[in-house]
Amino acid sequence: MVKKRSKKRIDRKTVLVLIILTVFFILFAKLVYVQIFLHGKISRAVRKMVNRENIEVSRRGDILDSKEKVLASSVKKYSVFLDPKIIKDFDRVKNVLAENGIKIKEKSLVELGETSYVPVAFNIDADVVDRIKNEKLKGVGFESKYIRQYPEGRLLAHILGIIGYDGNGLEGIEKTYNESLSGNTVMTKTIRDGRGRIIQSGFADAPKICGQDVILSIDRTVQFIAEQELREAFDKHKAKKAICIVQDPKTGNILAMVSLPDFDSSEKIRDIRVLRNSAISDIYEPGSTFKIVAIAAALELGKIKFTDSFYLENGKYKIAGHTIKDDHKISGSASLCKIMEQSSNIGMIKIAQKLDRENFYEYIKKFGFYSLTGIDLPGEAKGLLMDVKKWNALSLPTISFGQGIGVTALQLINAFSAIANDGVLMKPSLIQDIRRADSETASAKDAATSQERRNVGETDDEMTASVFDLKEIRRVVSVETAQMVKKLLKNVVDFGTGRSAKVPGYTTGGKTGTAQKVDPTIKTYSAKYYTASFCGMLPAMNPKVVILVVIDEPKGSSYYATSVASPVFAKIAKRIAEYLGIEKDDVDKLPLQK
């Protein structure tokens, strides 16, 4: 019996040992399997848990005026969210958030069910976030994003444009220079411990990823003056649209550009039609402001002399089965000065008839009409001009006084600036420079175009010449011809239809235009819809600024440019001249000082 019991004990020990060895073998096999066969998978999972990759979105560059006043800027704002699963002391979280202007209800969190992400506030300032973070609340998290702000509101709306929900530009400078403004998006890494706490934070060098600043030629004060005066006229005359452009004729730089109606870039756009920049996108018949083209061409080609006179047919002129009439009837003959002063259509036809069609067409193109100016904005229109081979007997006569041709406001002011600039047509520009975030000057839009320019064989020295340098397009007429046209424009203001454009202390030159609009319902010129405009320069013989005012479909007792557009020019020109410190040149006509 003793032997049997001993044998049973031995069997139990053997079984126990075998069990232990089996367990050990299984664990060893599992360990080998994990270490060898699952090593890569587990390592990847651990790296994913410990090393977090974050997309670092760049701060969009600022847009500034010529004096570097901020017109558009991006500010970092925060959203606050809760993780109800982590919150231990809801009352404390509720009170701390309430102290910082964020109200939450526990009931609303319960209604959301099983979730780890409950947003409770948006667009919170950094200082508020810092105060909340200092309380070290469990279950409270933050997310940041950049919000685009336009501190000037409606001012410069069409030039600045807007950005979309994705942060990319949709209109204006925001669209044209989206690549430069946007900067780069980079990936940063953060190392966390097993509890998810950050133990090492990677960060991106902000200046390297942030967008570039775009500096405009626009002067914010000049823009404000132009917009304020134009808006007053727009409201007074209950106009359909209104435009004002201010240009430096020597450089081609645009100092102000206003299109009404406008919008506030910071607010939601409810009618996309207001996004249309009429100054560059709308085509209209210029009327008598276009007369400088025919008269400059005829003088330049020697077809007429400054001292010539023309018979004006007693105010009625039959041509190609149509009768052309003058609003201001002039008996007998009239000089060039008189023709321009009284804006005689018949006189202009007589001058244009000295030109052949090809010559007139050539000079229309030379002045920049029916071609894009290349302005730094999207949506520019080319204008309308029938091919010279399709002109009929009425084409040359009517185009000479601004009917039968479509132009943009920008094309027209640029043509006047060519006369003001002694016959040289400049490329209009809105951009003064593009600058890196580290304050280095970015040459030639290098972020977007340097590689392309290398591809065509340009050297680094050649690329240092900025694309924002002054660009002379061509000489349109000689200095002598330009001087004669400026004298004619001065006489228009001194003695003619532009008297209401006079500016005390300054000589002023310019031309009125009252153009009938085509009524689309009757498909002929309307008897009640007009476009009133005035384009002028100051001082008259050595202009520092050229200003165009266009009032579309003014309502009221008068629609003539002399009572609608010219006075607006005078107000704008006076204030701008004083602001820019332009030297007065008409001292003899200054009012007496008390």
Residue 400 domain-assigned? yes
CATH number at residue 159: 3.90.1310.10
- Domain range for 169: 52-73+148-216+432-469
Give the integer Cα–Cα distance in Å for 449 and 165: 26
At residue 410, the 3 state secondary structure works out as helix
Q: With pLDDT > 90 as the criterion, what percentage of the chain qualifies?
A: 56
Looking at every residue in the chain, the average pLDDT score rounds to 84
Last residue of a domain, one of 454, 469, 484: 469
> What is the DSSP track for 307-361?
T-EEE-GGGEEEETTEEEE-SS---SEEEHHHHHHTT-HHHHHHHHTTS-HHHHH
Q: Is residue 68 part of a domain?
A: yes
Tell me the two tokens of residue 567: 């006075």
Task: Tell me, yes or no, whether 548 lies in a domain.
Answer: yes
Q: Check whether residue 191 and residue 281 sit in a common domain.
A: no
The answer to whether residue 547 scores a pLDDT higher than 70 is yes
For residue 418, the model assigns a pLDDT of: 98
**pLDDT score recorded for residue 4:** 53
164 and 293 housed in the same domain: no
- 379 and 465 together in one domain: no
Q: Is the model's pLDDT at 453 over the cut of 70?
A: no
Indicate whether 236 and 335 sit together in one domain: yes
CA-based nearest residue to 535, from 490, 499, 569, 583: 569
Q: Are residues 407 and 440 in the same domain?
A: no
In a shared domain, residues 240 and 385: yes
| pLDDT for position 139 | 81
Span 288-329, pLDDT tens digits: 999 999 999 999 999 999 999 999 998 899 998 889 988 877
Q: How far apart are CA 430 and CA 377, in angstroms?
A: 8
CA distance linking residue 415 with residue 423, whole number of Å? 9
- pLDDT of 197: 46
Among the residue ranges 209-213, 236-240, 512-516, the one predicted with the least confidence is 209-213
Task: List CB contacts of 191: < 8 A, sequence separation 6 or more.
Answer: 50, 51, 52, 198, 199, 200, 201, 202
Confidence label for 186 from pLDDT (cuts 50, 70 and 90): low
Per-residue pLDDT of 102-127, as tens digits, reads 887 766 666 555 677 778 888 888 88
Q: Are 304 and 347 in contact (CB under 8 A)?
A: no
Do the domain assignments include residue 102? Answer: no
Indicate whether 447 pLDDT > 70: no
| pLDDT of amino acid 383 | 96
**Is residue 518 exposed (0-12), middle (13-18) or buried (19+ Cβ within 10 Å)?**
middle
pLDDT in tens, 144-169: 888 899 999 999 999 999 998 888 99
Cα dist. 52→129, 189, 195 in Å?
Answer: 22, 6, 13
pLDDT at 331: 81
Nearest to 584 by CA among 501, 493, 505: 505
- The string of pLDDT tens digits covering residues 264-275 is 888 888 888 899
- Is residue 140 in a domain? no
Give yes or no for residue 445 having a pLDDT over 80. no
* Own/partner pairs, 167-170, CB within 8 angstroms, 24+ separation: 167/57, 167/60
pLDDT in tens, 41-53: 666 665 555 555 5
Q: Looking at the domain assignment, is residue 9 inside a domain?
A: no
Cα 304–chain centre separation: 42
Tokens of 141: 């998290």
In a domain, 78, yes or no: no
- Model confidence at 443: pLDDT above 90: no
Half-sphere exposure of 499 (CA within 13 A, CB side): 5
For the chain, the residue count is 594
Position 15 scores a pLDDT of 76
In the block, which residue shows the tokens 């590689």?
451
Does position 517 have pLDDT exceeding 50, yes or no? yes
Same domain, 233 and 346: yes
Judge whether 263 and 386 are in contact, CB under 8 Å.
no
pLDDT of residue 126: 86
Predicted local distance difference test score (pLDDT) of residue 462: 41
Distance CA 90, CA 112 (A): 16
Q: Mean of the pLDDT values across residues 63-76? A: 93
Chain segment 232-266, per-residue pLDDT in tens: 999 999 999 999 999 999 999 999 999 999 998 88
**pLDDT at 458 (0 to 100):** 41
Cβ neighbour number for residue 489 with a 10 Å cutoff:
28
180 vs 184, more confident: 180
Q: Which two tokens stand for residue 385?
A: 């001009």
Domain count for the chain: 2
Q: Is residue 290 part of a domain?
A: yes
Residue 185 has pLDDT above 70, yes or no: no
Query: For position 469, what pLDDT does the model report?
Result: 75
| Separation of first and last alpha carbons in the chain | 145
Q: Which of 511, 515, 513 is nearest to 492 (CA)?
A: 511
pTM over 0.85: no
Strand partners, 511: 535
> Which residues have CB under 8 Å from 588's CB, separation 6+?
none
Both 355 and 284 in one domain: the answer is yes
Asked whether residue 306 falls in the same domain as residue 323, the answer is yes
Examine the pLDDT at 560 and tell me if it is beyond 60.
yes
What are 374-423's pLDDT values in tens digits? 999 999 999 999 999 999 999 999 999 999 999 999 999 999 999 999 99
User: What mean pLDDT is predicted for residues 571-580?
Assistant: 97
Looking at the fold, whether 458 and 523 belong to one and the same domain comes out as: no
Clarify whether residues 176 and 225 are in a common domain. no
467 pLDDT more than 60? no
Residues 202 and 57 in one domain: yes
Say which residue, 202 or 487, is predicted with more confidence. 487
Average pLDDT of the residues in 485-499: 96
What's residue 527's pLDDT?
81
Q: Residue 248 belongs to a domain with what CATH number?
A: 3.40.710.10
Please, is 437 exposed, middle or buried when counting C-beta atoms within 10 Å of its C-beta (0-12, 13-18, 19+)? Answer: buried
Segment 12-23, tens digit of pLDDT: 778 777 788 887
pLDDT at 438: 53
